[in-house]
Chain A
Amino acid sequence: GIQVEQSPPDLILQEGANSTLRCNFSDSVNNLQWFHQNPWGQLINLFYIPSGTKQNGRLSATTVATERYSLLYISSSQTTDSGVYFCDCYDYGQNFVFGPGTRLSVLP
C-alpha cells in the first residue's frame, strides 16, 4: 500500500511568519487531502487536492502528483493555526492512508 511521510514533524513559529509543510507519498494517488486538527481535537478539511494548486485565504496547497509530493503553505500565521496538520492519500482500489502529521505551534 501507499506509504505517506510528512515533514517536519514539529514546527514552532512566531505569529506572522510563513511556513511550508510537506507530504510525500510512495505511489500514485487519486486523492490527497489536507486536514487541520485543532487543539480541541476537531478535524477540519482544508483542501481536496489530488493535483494542481488551490488557495483559501492565507492557506494554499500544491500537489505535484508526478513527483509524489504535496505542499501546504501557511502565510502570516496566527495562533489559531496551531494544531496538527495531516495529509491523507487514497489510491483507487486501495485504502485511505494518513500521514503521521506535523505539529504546528504559533507563538503570540
Chain B
Amino acid sequence: EAQVTQNPRYLITVTGKKLTVTCSQNMNHEYMSWYRQDPGLGLRQIYYSMNVEVTDKGDVPEGYKVSRKEKRNFPLILESPSPNQTSLYFCASSFLSGTPYEQYFGPGTRLTVT
C-alpha cells in the first residue's frame, strides 16, 4: 500500500531535549516536505527536499533541521525544542519527475513541548 508514515504519532517532551520525528514513504517520490499546523491556522512549510541530499528552507525553518540521505526518509530534527514548537506536524511526498504531481500526507505527529 502506497503510504507516508510518521513516528511517533504523539510526543510530549521537555524544553531542550533533542528529538527526531521520522518520515518515510514507499512510493519512490523525489519530493518530501515538512509542515506545521497551529490551532486554527493553515499549514506552514518548514523544510522541503527535491531529491536526495537537496534540502531547502520553507516559510518557518527556525529551530528545525532536516536531512535527506535516502530517497525514502526525511527526518525532522528539533535540536533544542521550545514550547513555541508545540504543534501538529505533517510530512508529505510527491513525484516531481512526471505527473501526477500529487502530494501524499502522513497521519501527523502531535508534539507538545513543556
Residues of A bordering B, CB below 8 Å: 30-31, 33, 35, 41-43, 45, 48, 50, 86, 88, 90, 92, 95-96, 98-101
Contacts and interface: CB of A to CB of B under 8 A. Distances in A.
A95 B33 CA distance: 10
A30 B108 contact: no
Interface of B: 31, 33, 35, 37, 42-43, 45, 48, 58, 88, 90, 92, 94, 99-105, 107-108, 110
Contact of B101 (A41, A42, A90, A99): A90
Majority SS at the chain A contact face: strand
A45 B104 contact: yes
Contact of B88 (A31, A41, A50): A41
B107 A96 contact: no
A88 B48 CA distance: 15
A31 B101 contact: yes
